[in-house]
Amino acid sequence: MGTVLRYSLLLLLLLLLGMASELRAVEKDCLGGGFFGGVGGEVGWSLEIDLYRSSCPTAEEIIFGGVQRAVAGDPRMAASLLRLHFHDCFVNGCDGSVLLDDSPAFAGEKTAGPNANSLRGFEVVDGIKLELEASCPGIVSCADILAVAARDAVALLGGPTWDAELGRRDSLTASKSAANKNIPGPNSDLRALVDRFNRLGLSPRDMVALSGGHTIGNARCSSFSSRLKGSPPGGAAVVPGAGEVGFLDSLQQLCDGGNSTALAHLDLVTPVAFDNQYYTNLLNGVGLLSSDQVLVAGGDGQVLAIVEDYAADPMAFFQDFKAAMVKMGRLRAPAGAAGEVRRNCRVVN
């Protein structure tokens, strides 16, 4: 009887160990540990939560401190840092290529159409990188700095936070042509938006959630000039309401005289709060960019329903925004692309 009991206990122990192993695997997958191929990437690029806990334990604290100082001095910088991460990931994956200056070997992405005289925050990243190199040289990639800085910028303006997946490598090159081709423009119609996100494995819901990043920040008159021409975005046959007419009139006054560099808030109601007001603005016809307003006026019922969901439920927006940011942050460089940890985010080592 004793032998049978010991045998039974052994089987039970083995069963419990197997279940624990499976649970750890599920937990690791849910939290982002392990390997992600991404669109166009090869399996083997490891992303983990709290990756630098041993190699650079103050890494995320240093990044947060740099972002906090920058946003305290200029709240608009939060949107700029979020946008840097977005524009980085949309060009050959999240590899820090957007930070590279032009070189004899390539034309960088900073002068591409969607980025020229528009992207900001490079000096903030430079300062953070200097601190990290002094604390733990050669450990934290510039691409990871962008991912953590974007998260912290959102949180500092009242938005959600999430566990940052880390372990990206910095690219050895950049692509101005890919930036021009892949980054959605401010005048994109709905079909173009859905297509560009879909090519990266991002769904229409991801697209609408990530567009909610426009609840903070500003845009120049040159970015929303098509909104001033009076034609509905996407060609939808709608008659502008009184609120929209007044909104467009105010924009026209701002931009009169060819002042293409004047700035307008992307969210005119709560411009420095990360909230769901952006979606209410769209439903009221007062989205600033054509690529914003087209989410409602583009004639796609599925997309419109998502906008309505987020306008009614800020927590639904926050949850989907977090999930979409993590998903976007997993976008990989093309298969076979070499990478490194840059000492200076503007140039390869």
Q: What share of the chain is helix, strand, coil (3-state, %, to 5)?
A: 55, 5, 40
- Which helix (H) or strand (E) segment holds residue 320: the answer is helix 314-329
Report yes or no: 217 and 79 within 8 Å, Cβ to Cβ.
yes
Could you tell me which CATH number the domain at 190-325 has?
A: 1.10.420.10
For domain 58-183+331-340, give the fold. Peroxidase; domain 1 (1.10.520)
Which pLDDT value is given to residue 242? Answer: 57
- 265 as an active site residue: the answer is no
Q: Where are the beta strands (DSSP E) in 68-215?
A: 165-166, 170-171
Helix 290-297 with 190-199: angle, nearest 10 deg = 100
Domain boundaries, the chain: 58-183+331-340, 190-325
Task: Count the neighbouring beta carbons within 10 Å of the beta carbon of residue 89.
Answer: 30
Token pair belonging to 253: 């006054």
**Residues of the binding site for Ca(2+):** 88, 91, 93, 95, 97, 109, 215, 267, 270, 275
**Residues of the binding site:** 88, 91, 93, 95, 97, 109, 184, 214-215, 267, 270, 275
Q: Which of 185, 192, 207, 193 is nearest to 307 (CA)?
A: 207
Q: Which of 325, 324, 330 is nearest to 43 (CA)?
A: 330
Which pLDDT value is given to residue 28? Answer: 37
Mapped to the 3 state alphabet, what secondary structure does 76-89 carry? HHHHHHHHHHHHHH
Say how many Å lie between the first and final Cα of the chain, rounded.
Answer: 69
Active site residue: 76, 83, 87, 176, which one?
Answer: 87
Which pLDDT value is given to residue 32? Answer: 38
Residue-level pLDDT, tens digit, the chain, 349 residues = 555 445 444 444 444 444 444 333 333 333 333 333 444 444 446 899 999 999 999 999 999 999 999 999 999 999 999 999 999 999 999 999 999 999 999 999 999 999 998 899 999 999 999 999 999 999 999 999 999 999 999 999 999 999 999 999 999 999 999 999 999 999 999 999 999 999 999 999 999 999 999 999 999 998 888 887 755 554 443 445 556 788 888 898 899 877 778 899 999 999 999 999 999 999 999 999 999 999 999 989 999 999 999 999 999 999 999 999 999 999 988 877 889 999 999 999 9
Single pTM value for the model: 0.85
**Residues of the binding site for substrate:** 184
Q: Where are the beta strands (DSSP E) in 197-280?
A: 218-220, 263-265
Token pair belonging to 75: 């709240």
Which pLDDT value is given to residue 241? Answer: 57
Q: Which of 342, 45, 67 is nearest to 166 (CA)?
A: 45
